[in-house]
Chains A and B, each alone.
Chain A
């Protein structure tokens, strides 16, 4: 439980504060490294960073949407063939979740793999 909270908080802070300065694939490497080091279980390593990453992405997108009141999300949704801009917001969240979750899982599984070997 503790590890899952730790991971959640860490990844959230990572996305919110390091996110603006690094492309998202760098964040993925960091997430994988962290789950590798913490040694949490597979489920935790998948769900915690996934939720943290996804919710952070959703929160940032939502915040920008509200703050700017821009037409852009609607325009982008239409351009990408989506029915409305809410889907785009969820799309961003789901993609964030997948990115966080699989990065986390990769780190943990690598650790497990090496542990067994050792």
Chain B
């Protein structure tokens, strides 16, 4: 009996591998090689076209000990991540809850809020430069209506990163979509029961909605964190290829891109990418470890 169960388990394990086989094959063929290459080249002076000599850990040494801009870019990126991740998460949840109610014109509302997430590219960033114009821009105009004297946004090093976070908030629709999908799995009967017990709307939200969508909140936080560290294009476009006032928009990937494709110090850029990997990996592992404390999977047996 026990033997059979073991056999069954082993067989099930095999099935498991079959299920993830496409990913394993793809990983081995398309991803693993380039990743290993970049890891290896991070210990060389690789410049893409003419040299690749082993130089030990010199790139890493220089990066951590001797490169002020590395720290500037890391600080900028951490700042951006620290604010944009919680704000977009909260914004997306809030929006998805509003858009999961029975409201006239629901389909239109959802489409409108989702639209900015689809808009991308240089045009949008230049558009935001106009909107953030401290004098005639729409944002400060609207702030003016409510009596607020708007900041100098992209010209003031204190406000450049908030400008980008604001822009990010505008495209919160992607996250909203995730939460909407997740909310479909929350049984209506739970709300009905709570209603009869006299729970307020806030209590329902806090004790039913939130726990039920924690798996997706977890997903959103982890992926936005990873994505947030990769911020590049918006800063690149909005600073005309510079680093913004006082390098306040010199983000990690931006600096890395400069090293890789402007100066052709690809070995250094690869070392940078592995340092970033380590940082993000540790943060993600912390997230994964903390997850059981707050992420509620319906599928798991309650302990």
- Tell me if chain B binds chain A: no
Q: B residues engaging A (CB < 8 A)?
A: none
